[in-house]
Amino acid sequence: LSKKERTEIKDELIFDLLPKAFTFSRKIYAYIDPKGGWLIVDAASAKSAEDLLSLLRKSLGSLPAVPLNTLEKPTTTMTQWLLNNIAPDDITIEDECELRSPEEAGGIIRCKRHDLALPEIKNHLDTGKEVIKLAVNWADRISFVIDENLSIKRLRFLDLIQDQVADIETGDEAAQFDVDFSIMSAELANFLPRLIELFGGENKA
């Protein structure tokens, strides 16, 4: 076969098989808070969030979004909370954390369903380990796990918020979604500035 014939056969095969190829789709929720200047992405991983941002940039032409950065390192602040067994009044430390030695490739200790006020935790911190992940509760309204990169995982709205949602039943799925979203976004609009404040304010440099 000539090169031209091989190319034609290849093109015909692609044209014939492409509609039969397996497709993969996933749903990622995100929204823009123009007042607060936030792009909030509900994604299971940093890669999924980046995939969404790439798609938005491709669709919009540009999207000058950068990850949140604070003046104080989250590891330093969270370590002090556990080391001194004290946190801000509106923060309750829960029962999960990860500790890591600061050395390169340092060992990691994971604690779940554990009393983080016990002396053994402080002993690890006294030897230089840092908190890189911590489960906390904000004002009995939101519980979540925050890590060294300020990524928030397993965010859950607690009874105070769930009761607000339960009090408004629309009987219509789309309308209920709007209600849930309005309550959720309003709550996050209050929470996120406080989160930044906990770590010394936003570093805009």
Domain boundaries of the chain, sorted by first residue: 3-60, 74-198
Helix (H) / strand (E) containing 162: helix 159-166
Query: And the tokens for 199?
Result: 């770590």
Could you read off the pLDDT of 120-159 as tens digits, one per residue?
999 999 999 999 999 999 999 999 999 999 999 999 999 9
pTM of the predicted structure, to 2 decimals = 0.82
The residues, ordered by sequence, that sit 6+ positions from 169 with a Cβ below 8 Å of its Cβ are 176
Burial (CB count within 10 angstroms: exposed 0-12, middle 13-18, buried 19+), residue 142? buried
Q: pLDDT digits over 61-91, tens only? A: 888 888 899 999 999 999 999 999 999 999 9
